[in-house]
A and B are shown apart, each in its own frame.
Chain A
C-alpha cells in the first residue's frame, strides 16, 4: 500500500488513535483489578453490605 507523501501523518494518526483506545482499556482494566482486590479484602474481613444480607436493592 502506498500512502503517498504524507505517510508519516497517517501512521501517526492511527498510532495516536490506538494509544488513546489502549489508554482507555488499560485504565478500565487496572481500575477493575484495584477495586475487586479491595472488595475481596473487605470480604476476607467479614464486612458485607446490608443488601447482601437483606433487601437486594440497596447499594
Chain B
C-alpha cells in the first residue's frame, strides 16, 4: 500500500472498508482502558474530583487543534496538487474538529463553574479556543455556501491556511490582551506540575480521542466521496434528460 494507491478514491473506499472496523474496535478498546484509568485516578489536592473533567477537556482541546492541522495539510494538497481526495479530507475534518472544539468549550465551562464561580471567564486559553471554534464555523459556512465542490475546496483551503498562520498570532495577542488586564482572583489551571497518576490516564485518553478522530474522519471521508458520486450521477441524469 502506498500513498498513490490511497489517492485513488475507489481504492480508498475499498481499503478503508477493510480498515474501518479495526479502527473502530481499537477506539472502543482505548476508551475502555482510558475510562477505567480515569475512574481510578486520584483527586487533585486543590481541585478535588473536578480534575476528572480534565481527562476529556484536554484531549478535546488537543484534537480541536489537531483537526485544523489535518485540514491545513489537506489544504496544501488541494492547492498544490489539486487532488480531489485532499478536498474530501479537508471537508470531512471541519465538522469533526468543530465538534471537538465545542466539547472543549462545554467541558471547560462546566469545569469553570465550580472552580471560578462562573461558567465563562475571558481567560486567555478559553478565549483562544472560542476563536478557534469561530474559525471552524466560518470554514463550515464557506463549504456550505458554495455549490461547486472543487471551487468551495479551493476557497476553504485558502481560508484554512490563512487560519493556520493566523491562529498562533491570535493566540499570542489574546495572551497579551489578557495579561494587560488580568482579573485578579482567577485560579490558574495547570499551574502546578502534573502528577504521573494523573498524567497516565490523560495520555491514554488522548490516544483514545485521537483514534476516535481518525475513525470518524475516515468514515466522514467515505461519506463525502459518496456524496460526490451522487452529485455526478445527478448531473449525468440531468444531462441525459436534456441532451440528445
Contact = CB atoms under 8 A, between A and B. Distances in A.
- Judge A-B direct contact (beta carbons within 8 Å): yes
Contacts of B81: none
Contacts of A5: 48, 114
Nearest to A25: B216
B107 interface: yes
B110 interface: yes
A28 B236 contact: no
Interface size class of A (residues with CB under 8 A): 35 or more
Interface in A1-46: 1-7, 9-10, 12-14, 16-17, 20-21, 23-25, 27-28, 31-32, 35-36, 38-39, 42, 45
Contact of B107 (A17, A35, A51): A17
Given A14-B56, A20-B106, A56-B8, A36 B226 contact: yes
Contacts of B60: 17
B49 A6 contact: yes
Contacts of A28: 216, 219-220, 223
Interface in B216-243: 216, 219-220, 222-223, 226-230, 232-233, 236-237, 240
Interface in B153-185: none
A7 B50 CA distance: 8
Contacts of A16: 103, 106-107, 110
Contacts of B114: 5-6, 9
B183 to A, nearest CB: 21
Interface string B98-118: 011011001100110110000
B89 interface: no
A49 B106 contact: no
B5 interface: no
Nearest to B55: A14
A42 to B, nearest CB: 5
B77 interface: no
Nearest to B106: A16
Given A13-B111, A17-B107, A20-B102, A4 B49 contact: yes
B232 A4 contact: no
B103 A17 contact: yes
Nearest to B240: A47
A59 B49 contact: no
Q: Which of A2, A4, A27, A28 has the most CB of B within 10 A?
A: A28
Top 10 closest pairs, chain A to chain B, by CB: A4-B49, A6-B114, A35-B226, A13-B110, A3-B49, A13-B107, A4-B48, A13-B53, A17-B56, A42-B233
Interface of A: 1-7, 9-10, 12-14, 16-17, 20-21, 23-25, 27-28, 31-32, 35-36, 38-39, 42, 45, 47-49, 51, 56-57, 59
